[in-house]
Structures are given as C-alpha cells and as structure tokens.
C-alpha cells in the first residue's frame, strides 16, 4: 500500500512497517541534495516530529515522521551519496523504515491520486 | 493578495521565464533563483565554461560634476567613501564602501571612472537609500542620476573572454577592473572586467531595450548557460566575497570585515587625503591597531552545511558563544560545506577550532583562509 502526506513524504506499507521517503515532487523542489541526516535506529517519533534533515546547496529542510512509530532501519546509502534522493526519490532514495504504532492510522493519509491532485 | 504583482521586473524577465527560471522575490524584484539545470550544475558550469547572470536589479548611478571637471566629482565622492577615487584612472574601476558615522557599512559598490563622469554599481536592496545619500552629500556640486533604463548582465567563467570576443574583439586586452564603452549588437554598452564569482569575467551595462537581444546572443553560444541567484551566492561564498546584509552591514566596520585593502594609503592616517569620510575616527584607529573581531572563513569538519545565523562557540558544548556565522552553505567546487562569520581577534587565526550551532548541536569548524576556491582574475 502506497500512501502520501501533504508534507511530501511517501510511505510504502507492508504489514506494520512503512518504508518512508520524500516524493519526486519534493526532490525536484529541493534541488540537488548535498547532505542528509537520518534518525537513529530505535528512535521513536510522533506524527509530524522532525525525523530527518535534508540540505540542498541553498537551504536545510526537515523531513517529518508521517505517523507514530519507531525507526527500525535507515538507508545509509543516502547519507554517503545524497544525490540518490534526487535520482531515485521513490526507490533507492528511501530514508527509513518505521514500525507503526497504529497501522490503522495510515488509512487517513493521501492515496496516490489525491497526492497528485495536491501537487498539481 | 498576489504578492508577485507588486514586485518589479528586470528587462530580462520574459527571457528568464522562457528559460525555465524559478522566480523568487529578491530586493523588491522577481528574480531567477535557478534555471532548469539547478544550482549545482549552474555553479560548476560557471567555473568550467561561462555563466550568464541577470543582475539588472542592481542600481546603476552616474555622477557628473557641474563644473565639467570629473576630478570634482571624484573629490565629492571621497566625502562618503574611504577610497581613493581621485587617483582612479580613466577606464578603471575599484571596489568601495559607503560608511556611516559609527564606521559601519551602508553598502558596498563599484566605482568606475568613465572620463566625463563616475559610474557606480550598488546593491539592489540599498539603491534607493544610496541614491538619496549621494544626492544629499554631493548634490551641491554634482548631478546624481539613477540609470533606471539600463539592464546589467554578468558573463563569468574561464570561457567568458572567448565568448564575448565573438561580439566585440577588443575586450581581449582588458585587464581585471578595466572599464570600456562598446557597441554590442548595435547597443551602447559599458563593459567592466569584473564580477562576483571569483572567476575572470565581465559585467555589461546595456540599454534596457537591447538587453534581451544581447543576452540571447550570448546564450546562443554553446559554452554559455543562464545562472540564477542561488549559484551566484555559492560562487561568491567560495570566492570569499561579502554579501551586503549578511557579511557586512551598518554594524560591521571595513576593518572588522577584512576589507582594509579597499582603503588606499592616501585616505589612511598620514596619507595626502587622510580621513574625510564618515566614521574615519573609528576606522583609521582600527586600520592601525586592528579591531576586536574579524570576518573569517570557516570550514565545517563534517559534511553538514552551517548556515547564516548559526552561533559560534569556543567549546563543543556551546557554553561560550564568541561570534556567529554570516554566510554558509555548500560549495559545489570546494565539494564540501563552506562558511564565513565573525570571530574575536584571538580566535581569528587560521587553524583555530570553533563550534557552530546546528539543530541543537555544536559542530566543529576550523578558521580557514579565504577564498575557498582560488580566484582567476586576469590582472
């Protein structure tokens, strides 16, 4: 199940674990990324918490945790090569895997067509 | 409310839109922050080939002495800048600063001696205040005119000379900071060999009506790419050049900012025309004895960029705050984060370790000589 947030994160949900990243639209808007800071494995966040930071040449932006949960895995590849987020934002450029506290909360997020409508 | 409708447009606005620019508000203008290629590619292209910048938002001002003697205009201008204007030869340009009574900086600018008048280029955000300042201080002896009907473009990078020479062969023998009139595409232009990137290059003042034609001609060249304000900022930061409003302002003196080189001997203590500019009583003693703080280059030790506004501490816990970062970001040619800021004199020596506050942590940075990327001016 693929879900999206209004803050331009995507979630690929398998069981109670969501793989989280930023959308193609967000990656295009940010431009070339030069730095990514990921949360620690084991860190817990509430929905909307600052889970990661991305920096382009010009500016820093926060990546929010899309649902309540605990980080169970992070993608070190984007830390060593932030350009992966630009080249494959919804694939190899994933950020972290989140064990959802309440998997049912995902139903309230946007589906792909609703997100596409949001970003026009 | 449509905020963008209140922003001014440069003569290259339509061209910028047609080139896929992402426009942002800047100093009252709608300006291109980047084009389709993006900041990283635009920056690297400028350092490897040639970049074309629309900087028409900047103020262009002519000063003419009513006596008809350009030396009278130079003398008058020396009353508001700590710079040797009288000794500036015809066809030459020099960097200058408007100072205030505290020794702070009202704006930084370029002054060119055009023979029968002085030609100034000032920052967009300051241009109205600069114009009023000039009128009030020079108005009795000089006519001060804002050249609002002219565009300004910059062509920067190692291929700039070859590209511009295809339109006007004579530029090849210009040196850094030479200024000349020329006809480009039948338009009366003023070309200076200068810029804001650390690269060899040119700034070209063009009548607004001809600006798009000249810009299009230059862009037709395969070596030329349009470059936005985003890359302009990363280029000047790598080159160690100050951004007015960030690195220098009304609370920083030229000596604190490390701009002593802009104050020639004749205006210093013991010089033929010593002082005689606002804030001389602060600036002249600082030239002799130094200032308590100084602008320094800062190289973050990790990969995380350190941005303007970050606090600088002497210790990794951030307990002893000693200064702040005034510009910072990622340097695409340096291939790492780069920053500038103010540190106390005792902590301003290259190699000094300081700590910059980033998202609640204090990250190690080293004081580093500027520039981060060597300049390639044709002196």
Interface test with A, best of B21, B227, B233, B305 (most A CBs within 10 A): B305
pLDDT of A119 reads 93
Confidence of residue B272 (pLDDT cuts 50, 70, 90): very high
Residue B15's closest CA among B284, B217, B266? Answer: B217
| Cβ pair B112, B126 in contact under 8 A | no
Dihedral over alpha carbons A97, A103, A104, A105 (to 10 degrees): -50
pLDDT of B5 reads 60
Confidence of residue B1 (pLDDT cuts 50, 70, 90): very low
Name B221's Cβ contacts closer than 8 Å, sequence gap at least 6.
Answer: B50, B163, B166
| Cβ pair B82, B276 in contact under 8 A | no
* pLDDT over 80 at A84, yes or no: yes
| Cβ pair B350, B367 in contact under 8 A | yes
Is the CB of A60 less than 8 angstroms away from the CB of B40? no
- Distance separating alpha carbons of residues B124 and B8, to the nearest angstrom: 11
Residue B69: alpha-carbon gap to chain centroid: 29
Rounded percentage of chain B residues whose pLDDT exceeds 70: 99
Whether the CB of B335 is below 8 Å from some CB of chain A: the reply is no
Strand B311-313 versus strand B201-207 pairing type: unpaired
pLDDT of A120 reads 83
Instruction: Please list every residue in chain B whose beta carbon sits closer than 8 Å to the beta carbon of residue A55.
Output: 304-305, 330
- Distance separating alpha carbons of residues A115 and B9, to the nearest angstrom: 33
- Distance separating alpha carbons of residues B29 and B27, to the nearest angstrom: 6
Question: b or e along B331-347 (b: 16 or more beta carbons within 10 Å of the residue's beta carbon)?
Answer: bbbeebbbbbbbbbeeb
Identify the three-state secondary structure at position B236: helix
- ipTM metric: 0.88
Termini Cα distance of chain B: 50
Is the CB of B330 less than 8 angstroms away from the CB of A37? no
pTM: 0.95
The model's pLDDT over B35-65, given as tens digits with 9 standing for 90+, comes to 999 999 999 999 999 999 999 999 999 999 9
Length, in residues, of chain A: 120
The model's pLDDT over B178-215, given as tens digits with 9 standing for 90+, comes to 999 999 888 999 999 999 999 999 999 999 999 999 99
Q: Taking residues B140-157, what's their average pLDDT?
A: 98
The model's pLDDT over B83-107, given as tens digits with 9 standing for 90+, comes to 999 999 999 999 999 999 999 999 9
Is the CB of A58 less than 8 angstroms away from the CB of B303? no
Residue B296's closest CA among B248, B254, B348, B256? Answer: B348
Crossing angle between the packed helical segments B70-77 and B127-138, to the nearest 10 degrees: 110
User: Using the 8-state DSSP alphabet, how is residue B88 labeled?
Assistant: P
| Cβ pair A95, A33 in contact under 8 A | no
- Distance separating alpha carbons of residues B172 and B192, to the nearest angstrom: 12
Whether the CB of B232 is below 8 Å from some CB of chain A: the reply is no
Identify the three-state secondary structure at position B138: helix
- Distance separating alpha carbons of residues B112 and B119, to the nearest angstrom: 5
Helix and strand numbers (H, E) in chain A are 4, 9
Is the CB of B329 less than 8 angstroms away from the CB of A58? yes
Instruction: Please list every residue in chain B whose beta carbon sits closer than 8 Å to the beta carbon of residue A37.
Output: 304, 359
The model's pLDDT over A16-30, given as tens digits with 9 standing for 90+, comes to 999 999 999 999 999
- Distance separating alpha carbons of residues B193 and B182, to the nearest angstrom: 13
Q: What is the mean pLDDT of chain B?
A: 96
The tokens of A44 are what?
């817990």
């Amino acid at each position: 199940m693929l879900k999206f947030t209004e803050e331009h994160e995507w979630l690929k949900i398998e069981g109670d674990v969501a793989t989280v990243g930023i959308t193609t639209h967000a990656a295009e808007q940010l431009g070339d990324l030069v730095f990514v800071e990921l949360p620690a494995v084991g860190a817990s966040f509430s929905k909307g918490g600052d889970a990661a930071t991305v920096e382009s040449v010009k500016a820093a932006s926060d990546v929010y945790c899309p649902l309540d949960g605990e980080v169970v895995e992070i993608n070190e590849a984007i830390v060593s090569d932030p350009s992966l987020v630009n080249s494959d934002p919804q694939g190899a450029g994933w950020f972290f895997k989140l064990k959802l506290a309440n998997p049912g909360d995902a139903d309230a997020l946007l589906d792909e067509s609703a997100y596409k409508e949001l970003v026009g | 409310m449509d905020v963008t409708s209140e922003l001014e447009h440069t003569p290259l606005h339509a061209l910028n839109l047609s080139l896929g620019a992402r426009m942002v508000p800047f100093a009252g203008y709608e300006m291109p922050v980047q084009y389709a290629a993006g900041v990283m590619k635009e920056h690297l292209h400028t350092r490897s080939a040639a970049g074309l910048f629309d900087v028409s938002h900047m103020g262009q001002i002519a000063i003419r002495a009513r006596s008809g003697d350009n030396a009278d205009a130079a003398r008058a201008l020396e009353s508001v800048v700590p710079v040797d204007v009288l000794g500036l030869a015809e066809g030459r340009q020099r960097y200058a600063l408007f100072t205030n009574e505290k020794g702070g900086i009202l704006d930084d600018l370029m002054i060119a001696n055009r023979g029968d008048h002085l030609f100034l280029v000032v920052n967009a955000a300051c241009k109205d205040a600069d114009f009023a300042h000039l009128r009030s201080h020079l108005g009795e002896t000089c006519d001060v005119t804002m050249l609002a009907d002219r565009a300004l473009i910059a062509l920067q990078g190692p291929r700039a000379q070859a590209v511009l020479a295809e339109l006007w062969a004579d530029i090849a023998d210009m040196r850094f900071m030479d200024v000349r009139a020329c006809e480009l595409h039948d338009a009366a232009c003023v070309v200076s060999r200068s810029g804001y990137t650390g690269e060899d290059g040119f700034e070209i003042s063009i009548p607004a009506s001809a600006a798009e034609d000249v810009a299009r001609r230059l862009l037709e060249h395969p070596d030329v790419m349009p470059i936005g304000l985003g890359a302009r900022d990363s280029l000047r930061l790598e080159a160690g050049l100050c951004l007015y409003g960030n690195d220098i302002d009304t609370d920083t003196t030229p000596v604190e900012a490390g701009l002593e080189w802009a104050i020639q001997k004749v205006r210093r203590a013991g010089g033929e025309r010593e002082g005689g500019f606002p804030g001389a009583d602060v600036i002249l003693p600082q030239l002799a004895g130094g200032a308590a703080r100084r602008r320094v280059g800062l190289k973050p030790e990790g990969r995380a960029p350190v941005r303007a506004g970050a606090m600088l501490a002497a210790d990794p816990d951030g307990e002893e705050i000693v200064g702040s970062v005034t510009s910072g970001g990622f340097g695409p040619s340096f291939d790492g984060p780069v920053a500038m800021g103010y540190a106390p004199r005792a902590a301003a020596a290259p190699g000094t370790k300081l700590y910059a506050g980033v998202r609640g942590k204090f990250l190690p940075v080293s004081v580093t000589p500027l520039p981060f990327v060597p300049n390639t001016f044709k002196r």
